[in-house]
Structures are given as structure tokens and as C-alpha cells.
Amino acid sequence: MSSLKQASVAKFKNKEAVIGIVGLGYVGLPLMLRYNAIGFKVLGIDIDVSKVEALNSGKSYIEHISSEKVFLARQSGFEATVDFTRVAECDALILCVPTPLNKYREPDMSFVINTTNALKPFLRPGQIVSLESTTYPGTTEEELLPRVEEGGLRVGQDIFLVYSPEREDPGNPNFETRTIPKVIGGHTPACLEVGIALYEHAIDKIVSVSSTKTAEMTKLLENIHRAVNIGLVNEMKVVADRMGIDIFEVVDAAATKPFGFTAYYPGPGLGGHCIPIDPFYLTWKAREYGLHTRFIELSGEVNKAMPEYVVNKLMDGLNDRGKALKNSRVLVLGIAYKKNVDDMRESPSVEIMELVAAKGGVVAYSDPHVPVFPKMREHNFNLVSETLSAENIASFDAVILATDHDGFDYSFISKHSNLLIDTRGKYRISEKHIIKA
């Protein structure tokens, strides 16, 4: 038993192991580059043929990851494939697949389950399987463990199983894969030991916890913390607005307190793959234990109402100018979910666009990071990014600043806008044509 564990640990320590990364998106791709850079052979596995072809020809499809980095990884042995039989070649299988919610706001585990089922026939002794996708406490034990053991392999003896949540912050120049501490929980102590050996070369600081469930709950707490605090400040924004107070000025002033306060800023809603989705994983699982997570649901409710709040502000502004939203031309600035990235997942900007279109507005967008509106699982606009010339800005009845990219010229935009709805607090000077939302 221990000889397999020792052999696995030694393989990772000596960098002789083959790292298999399953799912080559915003999490999997940076991880691939990191393992490649430190001298491991990496095999990328994905069901998306176009992603695999792009990577194999040395091209990146994620804006903040350069094609040059992918090309260099290819030169030094990285390879991508859609062929799951090659799972047998890998010593580690790191799962970085999506975990969205379905329309009933329940976890959609199909990507995790289908991926695990696809790996199953090719699992062999000595491998480690690590799930990085955010999920509810119990997933690794309830969904992965029985599938991994189905062919007769025993977890903790023949094969090793860990949960180690991803912590990516796309577009944040202060952190990269290597410098973000990594939480790991193993199904058994032997699993944890192999998991630490897998990640210790790639990540500066490893934080081991007592179980996979603890690691799963850790990731949820991180994201719930943000969701609840953003919900709180979004609610405060509505109250402050009614009282004629600038919430951004309030947050800035409160942030000067050197202890006991963390600045969270309001916005048009929540975006990204984590904060709008992950809290509901715990809400769903808590029901099994007869518990009702009121904080999580309330913050979700507040944050979900923000796009509508923005559109109501837009309608008020148009109304004051004697215009209806119907047939008005509306330009949305920034459709990625956060500044300076091209990530569109769960972007509140898209919801704002849909609300405007549903009320008969003619919607357009401008985003330096998203030149063409992408095909999305649930939303589709046949649009390309507008150029921000003086003439073009002035041709719109209203402009909504939804995502505050550094690439926008804010004074130029303000100068040529007829009506400007600011959801990000970029305009602190009170001007007649600017409405804070």
C-alpha cells in the first residue's frame, strides 16, 4: 500500500510525473502553463475541439494569457487532446470543469459527473485525481469517490483523491497561480500526502485541511463572504441614493479606518463564475440538513435586483428628457463581468442589455476586451463592439457605464453623452446629464 503512495510522491518530487489537466479554461490554462514552466510534462484534455486545436497550434483564446506563452509551452512538450484514452498516461488528473446552476438555481453537476465518467475506464493504480471546480461540501465523497472506486481501485491505497479549490483572479496583476496559497483536503491522510507532493512545486504556499468536505466549504465561505458584503453595500447604495448621499464617497471614507472594515463597492450586479453562483451550492446542500441559509439568499436577492435598479434609473433619466425607453438607443459600456478582462460569465451587463431590449430599447455595446459578442450558453446578441467616437456616443439617447475598464476615456465619454448612467462611481462631480445607479 505505502509503496504506491511513496512511488507517487517520489514521481512528483522528482518532476517525472505527467500532469493531466482536464478542462482548459480560465482555471486549467494558467495551471497548465505553471506546471509546464517548472519542467513537468503536461497533457491538456478538453471536449472542445476548437480549444484543443488552438492550443496545439500555439494560440491562446483567453485575453490575459498571451499566445506566446502557449506557443512556448508547446515547444517544451505541452500537448492538448480530446482523446480520453490518454488519461492512462497521466499520473495526476486535475479537474477544472464548470459547475454552473440550472434554471432552478440548483447545482448542475453534469460537467463534473460526465468528466469523471469519461476518466473512469482509464484510471490506474498510482494516479491522483484532484477536483478544483467549486462545489458543495460532500461532492468529492459522494460523486467522485464511488466512480473512482467502481473498477476495483481503492482510494487511499491504489489511487488518491483530493479536493483543492481553484483561486483564480483574472486580470489581477498582483497575483498569479504560483503566489495564491492553495487549500487541499484529502479523502485519506495518504491522499493528502500525495496531493501536497502534486502541488508543492507549483504553488508557493500549501494549506492542508482535514478533509475534502472542509476544503469544499472553505471555497464556499470565501465566495459567500464576498457575495454577502457586496449585497450589503448594494442595499446601502439604494438607501444612500434615496437620501441624496454618494455611496462611493461613504465607502472611501469608511475605508480609512485601519481595522475592522473592508471596502466593498456597489455595482450593477454580480458577475463571474464564482460570486453569483457558488453561494447557492451551500443553500442547496443545507436543505438536506433541514437548514435555511437566509443571509446567502437575501444577498442573492439584493444582488439579483441590481440590473433592474439600473434600468429603472435609465428610464427615469429618459423620462425627465421626455423620452420613453422604447425605441431609445442605449449604449452599454463594458460587458465583461469585471474591469480589464474578457470574461463574460454571469455578467450583469448582459442582463441589463436584455432588460433594455425587452422594454423595446435599441441596445448596443462597447468593450475593448470583447470585440464581438460571444456565443453564450443562455444569452445571444448579434453585435460587435461600437467605436467610441464623439459622433457615435452622441448618437445614443443614453450610455450606461456597466464595467469600468481602464481602457475607456471617461471625460471624453461624459463630454459627448446625452445621458450617462454611472453604475461604478467613476463620475464623482455632480453633472446634470449624469445619473448615479
Q: Are residues 167 and 299 in the same domain?
A: no
Q: What's the mean pLDDT when you consider all of the chain?
A: 95
Adjacent-strand bridge partners of 95: 22, 131
pLDDT of residue 98 exceeding 80: yes
Q: Are residues 262 and 196 in the same domain?
A: no
Q: Are residues 151 and 271 in the same domain?
A: no
Report how many domains make up the chain. 2
Q: Are residues 7 and 118 in the same domain?
A: yes
Range of the domain at 290: 249-436
pLDDT of residue 279 exceeding 90: no
Q: Are residues 149 and 69 in the same domain?
A: yes
Q: Are residues 119 and 179 in the same domain?
A: yes
pLDDT of residue 271 exceeding 90: no
In a domain, 22, yes or no: yes
In a domain, 215, yes or no: no
For residue 90, indicate whether it is catalytic: no
pLDDT class of 377 with cuts at 50, 70, 90? low
Task: Report the CATH number at residue 31.
Answer: 3.40.50.720
Catalytic choice (90, 96, 191, 274): 274
**356: number of Cβ within 10 Å:** 24
pLDDT of residue 138 exceeding 90: yes
Q: Are residues 193 and 262 in the same domain?
A: no
Q: Are residues 335 and 259 in the same domain?
A: yes
Q: Nearest to residue 215, comparing CAs of 143, 152, 140, 316?
A: 140
Q: Tens of pLDDT along 164-216?
A: 999 988 778 888 889 999 999 999 999 999 999 999 999 999 999 999 999 99
Q: Are residues 279 and 340 in the same domain?
A: yes
Last residue of a domain, which of 163, 182, 210?
Answer: 210
pLDDT of residue 345 exceeding 90: no
In a domain, 232, yes or no: no
Last residue of a domain, which of 210, 239, 261?
Answer: 210
**Dihedral class, residue 409 (left if φ above 0, else alpha if ψ from -120 to 50, else beta):** beta
In a domain, 221, yes or no: no
Q: What is the dihedral of CA 275, 265, 375, 398, to 10 degrees?
A: 150
Q: Are residues 68 and 145 in the same domain?
A: yes
Q: Are residues 14 and 136 in the same domain?
A: yes
DSSP code, position 181: -
Q: Are residues 173 and 259 in the same domain?
A: no
